Amino acid sequence: MSHPIRLLDLQLVPSVRSQTIYHAVAYALDENTPDTIIMVAPTSPYVCIGFHQELEKEVDVEYCRAHGLPMYRREVGGGAVYLDKNQVFTQWVFHRNSVPSDIGERFAWYAKPLVETYHALNIPANYRPINDIHVQGKKIGGTGAAQMGSAEVIVGSLMFDFNFELMSKVLKVSSEKMRDKIFQSLNEYMTTMTKQLGHTPDRDTVVNLYLDKVKESLGRDIVRGEPTAKELALAEELDGKFGTDEWLYQKGGLRQVGVKIHEDVRVIEAAHKAQGGLIRVTARVREGRIDDLTLSGDFTMIPKFAPGAIELALRGTALDANVVKSRIAEAYTMVGVQSPGVSVDDLATAVMMLKQG
């Protein structure tokens, strides 16, 4: 019989702890740690960016600072998002042999009890590959995955309500017209339990319903527990790290884009929208070769150091489509990259767009 899953139902915690707790549980995991599900929400609002994103290109930093909204970077892919206590996060920290090896199957496996919970509430949700949950064409949640230490992490949420206006204000946009369009689009293409039901359901009722669906779906008992001393110590350490400039700006090495340094050196940015998310490439190109390069965006890619391995593989490479594709493919094989909805061809396309810069 499978071992029971430990439940850490932490209710409301400080904003940073709602992110650092699952990182801490993951990095503390050893052979004696049970597979763990964390249910948690933040006491106060904040903004969180994906591991591969560049803060100042995704978030209106000045607005967030002026309005007291903390900003954190998580070690999971995906996009920048506004978060508050109206979402209950469902964070799974499991051993590698407890989860499907294919990341696409893993997202579907994780989403199943979320979808069934919404169905039980008479909300006609469905899983939409690669990692979204929709209700009649409107998104009610997304999921993310990462490897941390020896743990496999999958995260998502139960969407009770959402502040569409604040989400549109915290994102970095080129104009107010663009911001208005984002706000309109969020309202039209996102939904929540409150929107669907006409009222906000009771938190504990929904969480208990969800846990029943998890138990049915996984065929495993769920036992309430507490974080260990080691997990709490790691969480406290990460609390201090997650809001630091060093952590937040680690992807910001090449700040200038589209600038001619001299006749043979240009700093260029290009972007390509793949099925699995936006790929942004910022590079310094010297005499037709990639002198330096940074990959960022809202895609999911594991292991988390994979973008760095691809960046290294491309340094010194001529901007030739076949050569670029070959180097990226080699990095995929060497590192064992999984990137749902983002292929070697997608990355090569994004890199070759530098030629147009």
Residue span of the structural domain in which 281 resides: 259-356
The answer to whether residues 85 and 230 belong to one domain is: yes
d(CA 15, CA 69): 10
Residue 253 falls within a domain, yes or no?
Answer: no
Report the number of distinct structural domains present in the chain: 2
d(CA 275, CA 129): 10
Asked if residue 213 and residue 349 are part of one domain, the reply reads no
The answer on 42 and 169 residing in a single domain is: yes
Would you write out the chain's pLDDT as a tens digit for each of its 357 residues? 479 999 999 999 999 999 999 999 999 999 999 999 999 999 999 999 999 898 998 999 999 999 999 999 999 988 899 999 999 999 999 999 999 999 999 999 999 999 999 999 999 999 999 889 999 989 999 999 999 999 999 999 999 999 999 999 999 887 888 888 888 889 888 999 999 999 999 999 999 999 999 999 999 999 999 999 999 999 999 999 998 999 998 764 433 345 565 657 788 888 999 999 999 998 888 888 998 899 999 999 999 899 999 999 999 999 999 999 999 999 999 999 999 999 999 999 999 999 876
Structural domain contains residue 161:
yes
Dihedral (C-alpha) 99, 102, 107, 111: value to the nearest 10 degrees?
-60
How far, in Å, CA of 247 to CA of 263, rounded?
34
Angle, CA 228 vertex, CA 156 and CA 147 arms, to 5°: 40
* Whether residues 44 and 95 fall in one domain: yes
CATH number at residue 343: 3.30.390.50
Paired tokens of 134: 């929709």
Integer Cα distance of 26 and 283 in angstroms? 33
Residue ending a domain, among 248, 268, 299, is 248
